A and B are shown apart, each in its own frame.
Chain A
Amino acid sequence: MNRRIGTAEKFSTYLILAFLSIAMIAPFLLMLSISLTSDTSTVQMDFHLIPQEFQFDNYVRVFTTPNIDLGRHILNSLIIVVGSITGQVLVSSFVAFGFARFNAPGKNALFLILLGTMMIPGAVTLIPQFALYRALGWLGTFAPLIVPNFFGGAFNIFLIRQFIVRLPTELDEAAKIDGVGPVGIFWYIIFPLIRPIAVAVAILTFQFNWSWFLEPLLYLQDAELMPLAVAARTLSATTSAGATPMWNLVMVASMLLTVPMLLVFFFGQKYVFEANLSGGSASIK
């Protein structure tokens, strides 16, 4: 749109956007402010949007207080995240390679099934999967959270497949003539070329697993194994004894949960937006 924008319009646009931005930023600021509040003010629930106190010590205490020990929970989150990313990136791109470059009877039907599975609510498989993992003796381990990623994810397969389809086939053909097998073609030619989309998948997998709540809550059971998201909420729960939670420390946990997401967003937004938009709006060829 190249039309000229008048002063009045400019002013009203900025005014609305400024108001919206304040509304968007305020909860972040409140989180930060509460996280820096002293214990005394916390007990009185004396919180302010603009920080009045600067108890940076809160950020140390969550690591040194034995029954809080967020370091442990951050490590748990990292184990789940790294395991999931490894599985999703490797397996989803391999399967996507199959869908993009090979022909076989039944392929189109399988691709439709793949798309269809994205619509199935997780609720219908939650209970049988719980029974399955229980029978396998996986409850109380990270296995139910990590292993399924090594079967690939439908959305990721779809995203990567859309990307591979647009790559020229000359390199594959040349390698094939040189006697390179399909696995070699994937590993030496396709995989290096799909780096942008693989990064996007890694970021999306990070975002999902870092904030994941329901399944970790269900499968890990042992408080020691909980990832940060679940541990943060445990910290915020009013105990049966009626003691109010230490909201300043709860907000430290929330900050620790939020900041990595922001960092990953800032460094990875380019990849994710491109992937999401091409996947979301691309027609299926």
Chain B
Amino acid sequence: MAVSQAGLKQARLVTRTRGRLNASRREALWFYLIISPWLVGLLLLLAGPMLYSIYLSFTDWNLFNAPEWVGFDNYIRLFTRDRTFGYALGNTFYYTFLYVPLNIVLSLGIAYLLNKRLPGIRLFRTVIYLPYVVPVVATTMVFRWVFAPDNGLLNSFLALLGIDGPAWLLTPEWVKIALVIMSLWGVGSSVVFLLAGMQGIPAELYEAAAIDGASERQHFFGITLPMLSPVIFFNMIMSIIASLQTFTQVYILNAEPNTPGNAIVMIIPYLFDNAFRFNKMGYASAIAWVLFVIIFAFTLLVIRSSSAWVFYENEMKR
């Protein structure tokens, strides 16, 4: 009896595993079927074009004749003979490394103020977030009047303080700073993330610190900042990637005859001009890959450095 019992059990197990195998194979089939639109898009619109773009970056192609292989010529030319590309790189870095830190500091400060429990604070939150939803095209057009030299909004305000403001958009020294100010108008998007992060910090931490007699400053630097560091980290990566790809503002301003072009040109606008104004598709593809490497390098750098300054709560438990 015992033997047949065991045999029966085994037989049941075999059929069940076989059934499960079939089921899991069917499930896998369904998985690939369901994600197939994305998979097709990945191959057709991303992987394929990326490979083609690498190839193009080693060619000379005007879109009409067949691409002509030129080896590393495009890359060598970019770094040795192309002055404008040098400006584009320099301006992009200048803009990114001025904007990103300022954005973090400013958004931290604002989020700190908005996290106080005061009547009417919700209204301030909304107002400070609003500029972020304005399309860049509209922002750029209105900021031409904010930055107007004589009766512009910013210079009129500076005049009240007795400061003689510069011709922001017309002078090479100020035009990038103007772009940074314009982008900082949209600081609200970072504020929202930081604020949500702050509200997620357990109150016990502050209570415990208060019992130990910690000051407000110690609260901020000892608790708030470390607890927020993952949010800051995420924000920093996203804003570096976005800033390195600035296009619309520069394109619109650059089309104006009085804009100091060399002081404002950036990587993507320069790529756009090469590809679609001068029909230098191969050369523009090389620019795209230089940008890819730059973005990849900075992202990696921030991620690598993060272990030194980003604090994850669950690390404590290990």
Contact = CB atoms under 8 A, between A and B. Distances in A.
B138 to A, nearest CB: 4
B31 A102 contact: yes
A248 to B, nearest CB: 11
21 contacts: A24-B128, A25-B130, A27-B139, A31-B138, A95-B38, A114-B38, A119-B295, A126-B275, A127-B284, A130-B275, A132-B49, A134-B63, A151-B37, A152-B37, A152-B38, A182-B34, A210-B135, A237-B255, A257-B138, A258-B133, A262-B130
Interface stretch (B1-9, B165-173, B286-294): B286-294
B46 A125 contact: yes
Nearest to A18: B124
A246 to B, nearest CB: 12
Interface stretch (B11-19, B50-58, B74-82, B95-103): B50-58
Interface of B: 24, 27-35, 37-42, 44-46, 48-50, 52-53, 56, 63, 110, 113-118, 121, 124, 127-128, 130-131, 133-143, 145-146, 148, 151, 153, 156, 185, 188, 192-193, 196-197, 203, 206-207, 210, 230-231, 234, 241, 244-245, 247-248, 251-252, 255-257, 267-268, 271-272, 275-276, 281, 284-285, 287-289, 291-292, 295-296, 299
Given A16-B113, A273-B192, A211 B234 contact: no
A255 B135 CA distance: 10
Interface of A: 1-3, 5, 10, 13-14, 16-17, 20-21, 23-28, 30-31, 34, 45, 47, 49, 91, 94-95, 97-99, 102-105, 107, 110, 113-114, 117, 119-132, 134, 148, 150-152, 154, 157, 182, 186, 207, 210-211, 213-214, 218, 229-230, 232-233, 236-238, 247, 250-251, 254-255, 257-258, 261-262, 264-265, 273, 276-277, 280-281
Given A128-B52, A213-B136, A232-B141, 18 more contacts: A16-B113, A17-B121, A28-B130, A34-B142, A47-B151, A98-B30, A105-B28, A114-B38, A117-B46, A121-B288, A123-B267, A124-B285, A124-B289, A127-B53, A134-B63, A148-B41, A229-B135, A258-B138
B130 A24 contact: yes
